[in-house]
Chain A
Amino acid sequence: SQTIHQWPATLVQPVGSPLSLECTVEGTSNPNLYWYRQAAGRGLQLLFYSVGIGQISSEVPQNLSASRPQDRQFILSSKKLLLSDSGFYLCAWSAISEETQYFGPGTRLLVL
């Protein structure tokens, strides 16, 4: 069966510090991968998606970037965090031929 991992689970970072969140998927090959953010009291906003290694599409202009160095690894990064980057970050995967996305456990990021 497929599983998706995210780490860390919780992160507290000062403003201006760098960020690296990692997501890995097991049990499937060539998945579509997604990064979402859920701000407090709001829905899920798609930040990035990837259909293959090195292929990244950005949905909204922001202070973050994403990379996919391996087939089942998706990384969310920032060079300098802003207060507004605080939120709950979710990674998800889907099979190319399927509509359903499956989410990881999420990372709660607090920027102080």
Chain B
Amino acid sequence: DQQVKQNSPSLSVQEGRISILNCDYTNSMFDYFLWYKKYPAEGPTFLISISSIKDKNEDGRFTVFLNKSAKHLSLHIVPSQPGDSAVYFCAARGKYGGATNKLIFGTGTLLAVQP
């Protein structure tokens, strides 16, 4: 059972426009959400996170929105740049995580920013 879902395997956006990456989850016990960026043959890099007590967190060009009633979060990148082209993973931590901080990852969305 996939508790964290990224239904769009790929997304193509023009440079300078907004990229919106979506993520849905099923477990209402998740209390923390993270986005990671991954280039081929490299480890994922942490981008931005949000606690379940908030609905928005912003860091430069990156903003994450959380809609708990819909069990949905999204990552907005604006303006998009060619260097943003990568696979983006969303991840969630359950309240059971505690000291282990176990994360459950989605399957990723490949973002291609066209010059």
Q: Does B34 contact A (CB under 8 A)?
A: yes
A100 touches B46 (CB 8 A): yes
Per DSSP, chain A at the interface is strand
Chain A residues, Cβ within 8 Å of B43:
6, 90, 92, 103-106
Of residues 12 to 28 in A, which have CB atoms within 8 Å of B's CB atoms? Answer: none
Q: How many residues of A contact B (CB 8 A)?
A: 27
Nearest-neighbour CB distance to chain B for A73, whole angstroms, equals 17
Report B89-102 CB contacts with A as 1/0, cut-off 8 Å. 10101000101111
Interface size grouping (class) on chain B: 20 to 34
Query: Which A90-106 residues have C-beta < 8 A from chain B?
Result: 90, 92, 94, 96, 98-106
Asked if A90 meets B106 with Cβ closer than 8 Å, knowing A99-B34, A100-B49, the reply is no
CB pair A44–B105 under 8 Å, yes or no, is: yes
A76 within 8 A of B: no
List the B side residues contacting A96 at CB < 8 Å: 99, 101
Q: A-facing mask of B24-52, CB < 8 A → 1, else 0? A: 00000000101010000111111001000
Query: Do B106 and A101 have beta carbons less than 8 Å apart?
Result: no
* CB nearest to A44 among chain B residues: B105
Asked whether, in the complex, the Cβ of B89 is within 8 Å of the Cβ of A49, the reply is no
**Is the beta-carbon distance between A94 and B101 smaller than 8 angstroms?**
yes
Q: State which residues 54-79 of A face B: CB under 8 Å.
A: 57
Q: Report the bound CA distance from A44 to B88 in whole Å.
A: 11
Contact indicator B42/A100 (Cβ below 8 Å): no
Residues of B within 8 A of A (CB): 6, 32, 34, 36, 41-46, 49, 89, 91, 93, 97, 99-108
Ordered by A's residue number, 7 sampled pairs between the chains whose C-beta atoms are within 8 Å are A42-B107, A90-B43, A99-B32, A99-B49, A100-B49, A101-B34, A105-B42
Complex A-B, nearest 10 residue pairs according to Cβ-Cβ distance, in ascending order: A103-B43, A43-B107, A44-B105, A99-B32, A43-B105, A94-B101, A103-B44, A106-B43, A105-B43, A104-B43
